[in-house]
């Protein structure tokens, strides 16, 4: 382990930030980012699964037989997804309804399985947790920013909260005469907004 | 008539790729060449119909009677993974010609969220057996249609002179947005 813990953590925030640098996990990225609130909720749910699955997989990496490792990873991930699903049904039901099918879909999110295969199955517990947390927060950041752009263009303001805490409400950021650009919050807007954000990321050179 | 409406709704109005955003990773990954796009589309149609039917049976006859609905996620992913594995072995043995065509795409399908997503959607919408069979076929056909259309457009953008920052995934997403916009026009139909 030449790289320090901090490096494992911060690489997820910029150098390998999904879905911009690593083009993985596009379905939730496109599907839930109609508002910043949904983006943050989805990002945090994925982060939880990512960190827990990374820790458990890394702890069991010497026990899991190589040939059936993918199946084992999927079962471990599915377990944590069910935990998230049930917790959200109990404590954040409206958010659960908004995110709909995308919560069970964390199971097949390529980011989670990708980190398990590429990192957690080869490293010890603490770096794996740092890696999961970094990638997860990077993903949350990406979803939140894409959600914020679409919500700002589509409704002219930002409104919501994070799991019932930290409420925020900014309206009429472009002035009262702004005509909401409904295209941005609908399906085609998702593809185009993400495409243009990727283009912006490409303009900034990466080290 | 009811089934006809369901088919139109699933292929065009609620297109799995362009309106529901499921299965976008293979959508961008396998659409660079028409050949791979057709192979992937066929594999998805084949597996998705089987998976939709089998997960419906598992849910209605196994999970509901024993009050195990909360295990849906884990049960479905296991069913899909083993189904893909089984289909692969079966095709290899009995229909080698089809296996040669679909072969490399089959393992990719386990992590294709379109397959898993449709199985979950069928349950969430409380479809009957026949409805979920028709809906699975419709969603799969919609996936194939969108993928093949997109591959046709994308083959051309590969030859076009695109600004450097927009290249590759970025221009592909914008193109997908335009195709999605054209599918958006079907929205008034059902």
Residues with Cβ < 8 Å from A136, sequence gap 6 or more? A12, A43, A44, A46, A47, A48, A50, A51
Strand A158-162 relative to strand A165-170, pairing? antiparallel
CB-closest option in A81, A190, A200 to B21: A190
Token code pair at residue A21: 């640098």
Cβ distance A191 to B177 less than 8 Å, yes or no, reads yes
**10-residue mean pLDDT series, chain B (190 residues):** 86 87 81 83 88 93 89 89 85 81 72 86 91 93 92 87 82 90 81
Report how many domains make up chain B: 1
Question: Which residue range forms the structural domain that includes residue B98?
Answer: 2-188
Residues 6+ apart with CB under 8 A from A107: A74, A77, A78, A81, B73, B77, B116
Instruction: Indicate the Cα dihedral angle A87, B128, B115, A195, nearest 10°.
Output: -80
Interface test with A, best of B173, B180, B185 (most A CBs within 10 A): B173
Mean pLDDT of A128-146: 91
Residue B110: list chain A partners with CB under 8 A: 108
The answer to whether the Cβ–Cβ distance between B72 and A81 falls below 8 Å is no
Q: In the prediction, which pLDDT does A1 show?
A: 47
pLDDT class of A206 with cuts at 50, 70, 90: low
Residue contacts between A and B (CB atoms, under 8 Å): 115
Which residues on neighbouring strands pair with residue A170, listed in sequence order?
A158
**Tens digit of pLDDT for each residue in A26-67?**
888 888 888 888 899 999 999 999 999 999 999 998 898 888
- Rounded distance, CA B132 to CA B127, Å? 6
Taking the complete model, does pTM exceed 0.95, yes or no? no
| Domain carrying residue A130 | 5-203
Q: Which residues of A are less than 8 Å from B184 in CB distance?
A: 186-188
Are B178 and A187 in contact (CB < 8 Å)?
A: no
Q: Look at A202 and B164 and tell me if their CB atoms are within 8 Å.
A: yes
What is the rounded CA–CA span in Å between residue A32 and residue A187? Answer: 10
Residue A156 has pLDDT above 50, yes or no: yes
Q: Give every CB contact of residue B158 below 8 A, 6+ residues apart in sequence.
A: B32
Number of domains in chain A: 1
Q: What is the mean pLDDT of residues A177-202?
A: 84
pLDDT at B28: 81
Nearest C-alpha neighbor of B37 from the set B150, B113, B183: B150
Query: Exposed (0-12), middle (13-18) or buried (19+): which is B44, by Cβ within 10 Å?
Result: buried
Q: Given A31, A71, A109, which is nearest B21 (Cβ)?
A: A31
Contact A27/B112, CB-based, under 8 Å? no
Span A161-187, mean pLDDT? 76
Q: What is the pLDDT of residue A50?
A: 93
CA distance to partner chain B, nearest, from residue A3 (Å) = 30
Overall average pLDDT of the A67-72 stretch: 83
ipTM value, please give it. Answer: 0.82
């Amino acid at each position: 382990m030449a790289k320090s813990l901090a490096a494992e953590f911060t690489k997820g925030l910029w150098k390998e930030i999904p879905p911009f640098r690593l083009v993985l996990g596009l379905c939730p990225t496109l599907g839930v980012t109609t508002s910043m609130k949904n983006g943050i909720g989805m990002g945090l749910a994925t982060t939880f699964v990512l960190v827990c699955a990374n820790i458990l997989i890394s702890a069991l990496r010497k026990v899991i037989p190589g040939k059936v490792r993918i199946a084992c990873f999927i079962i471990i991930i599915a377990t944590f997804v069910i935990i998230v699903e049930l917790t959200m049904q109990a404590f954040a039901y409206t958010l659960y309804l908004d995110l709909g099918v995308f919560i069970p879909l964390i199971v097949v999110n390529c980011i989670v399985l990708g980190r398990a295969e590429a990192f957690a199955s080869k490293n010890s517990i603490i770096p794996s947790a740092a890696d999961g947390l970094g990638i997860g927060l990077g993903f949350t950041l990406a979803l939140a920013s894409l959600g914020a752009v679409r919500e700002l263009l589509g409704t002219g303001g930002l409104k919501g909260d994070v799991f019932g805490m930290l409420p925020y409400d900014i309206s009429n950021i472009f002035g009262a005469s702004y005509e909401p650009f409904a295209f941005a919050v609908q399906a085609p807007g998702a593809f185009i907004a993400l495409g243009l954000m990727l283009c912006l990321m490409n303009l900034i050179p990466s080290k | 008539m009811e089934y006809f409406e369901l088919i139109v709704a699933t292929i065009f109005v609620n297109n799995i790729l362009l309106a529901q955003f499921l299965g976008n990773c293979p959508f961008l990954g396998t659409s660079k060449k028409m050949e791979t796009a057709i192979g992937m589309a066929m594999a998805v149609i084949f597996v998705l119909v089987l998976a939709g039917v089998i997960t419906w049976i598992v849910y209605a006859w196994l999970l509901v009677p024993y009050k195990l609905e909360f295990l849906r996620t884990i049960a479905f992913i296991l069913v899909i993974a083993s189904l893909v594995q089984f289909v692969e072995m079966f095709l290899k043995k009995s229909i080698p010609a089809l296996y040669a065509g679909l072969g490399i795409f089959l393992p990719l399908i386990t992590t294709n969220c379109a397959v898993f997503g449709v199985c979950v959607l069928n349950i969430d919408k409380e479809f009957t057996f026949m409805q979920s069979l028709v809906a699975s076929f419709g969603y799969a056909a919609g996936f194939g249609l969108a993928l093949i259309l997109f591959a046709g457009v994308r083959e051309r953008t590969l030859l076009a002179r695109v600004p450097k920052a927009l290249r590759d995934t970025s221009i592909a997403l914008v193109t997908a947005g335009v195709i999605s916009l054209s599918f958006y026009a079907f929205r008034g139909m059902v």
